[in-house]
Amino acid sequence: MRKPFVAGNWKMHGSKAFVLNLVTGLNSKSGELKGVDVAICPPSLYIDYTLRSLSTDTISIGAQNMAEEPHQGAFTGEGSASMLKDLGCRYVILGHSERRAIYGETNAEVANKVRVALEAGITPILCVGETLQERESGVMESVISEQLDAVLSLVGIAAFKAVVIAYEPVWAIGTGVTASPAQAQDVHAFIRAKLAQLDAVVAENIIIQYGGSVKPGNAKELFGQPDIDGGLIGGASLDADDFIAICKAAEV
């Protein structure tokens, strides 16, 4: 039985005052969380402040990105996996479509980052997903397969025991358009079946989150699908009440 996992991706939002207000709201409601793993992923600059503001251990912390380079050194502006670990991060979002589209991250770079995160003892939340054009032109499955294959060929299927996958259709991110539960389920089942060809046990146990315009009003139906094990939440994770409501919708 997979324990659902909901993570909040704050993206580049916030200020110290905003973080304090949001985390205070999460602290006061965290006692309501049962049967679901929960993480929040603030901007790196606020990770330490967020951790110091959190008064509950039912909510873990993740980062939104990290350097591909595992070692300290002359890499101006970068932050390493071991630094995130040192700060107290348990997760790191990797290969988010915004990083792929805006910063040109390739499948090979994402795969390398997954390897480096795993070596540092951080659980990667590996994002995959197709654009609307890829979906409409019938290459959705091959796009997602290539995104997964790059990582699988580098770290191997056994390493996926410690990986979370987030299926995020690019056309549903921040647009208010959500994949229908059936559309999302189809892709989640495809991903699980692909992994099952390599290792049935890993495939059965891996958490596959859905991300893309999840809100309190649509979360329950999405999370009720057999292969959807929680969500990666952008906009709605910036509001404590909405985020907690979404987490509770994933509870088993």
**Which residues contribute to the site for ligand PGA (CB under 6 A)?**
9, 168, 173-174, 211-214, 232-236
User: Which amino acid is present at 109?
Assistant: E
User: Which amino acid is present at 214?
Assistant: V
Name which of 214 and 245 has its Cβ closer to ligand PGA. Answer: 214
Tell me if residue 23 falls in helix, strand or coil.
helix
Smallest gap, in angstroms, from Cβ of residue 143 to ligand PGA? 17
Question: Catalytic site residues?
Answer: 96, 168
Name which of 117 and 231 has its Cβ closer to ligand PGA. Answer: 231
Name which of 154 and 238 has its Cβ closer to ligand PGA. Answer: 238
φ, ψ (nearest 5 deg) of residue 91: -130, 160
Task: Give the contacts of 37 (CB within 8 A, at least 6 positions apart).
Answer: 3, 4, 5, 6, 60, 230
Smallest gap, in angstroms, from Cβ of residue 71 to ligand PGA? 29
Contacts from 102-109 at CB under 8 Å and sequence distance 24+? 107/146, 107/147, 107/150, 107/151, 108/150, 109/68
Angle of helix 140-155 versus helix 181-196 axis, rounded to 10: 40
Smallest gap, in angstroms, from Cβ of residue 140 to ligand PGA? 18
CA distances from residue 172 to 92, 161, 214, 235 in whole angstroms, order as listed: 21, 27, 9, 12
Strand partners, 210: 167, 231
Strand partners, 38: 6, 59
**Can you tell me the distance from the alpha carbon of 19 to that of 179, in angstroms, rounded to the nearest whole number?**
29
Name which of 195 and 232 has its Cβ closer to ligand PGA. Answer: 232
Residue sitting closest to ligand PGA (CB): 234
Smallest gap, in angstroms, from Cβ of residue 199 to ligand PGA? 27
Name which of 37 and 82 has its Cβ closer to ligand PGA. Answer: 37
Smallest gap, in angstroms, from Cβ of residue 188 to ligand PGA? 15
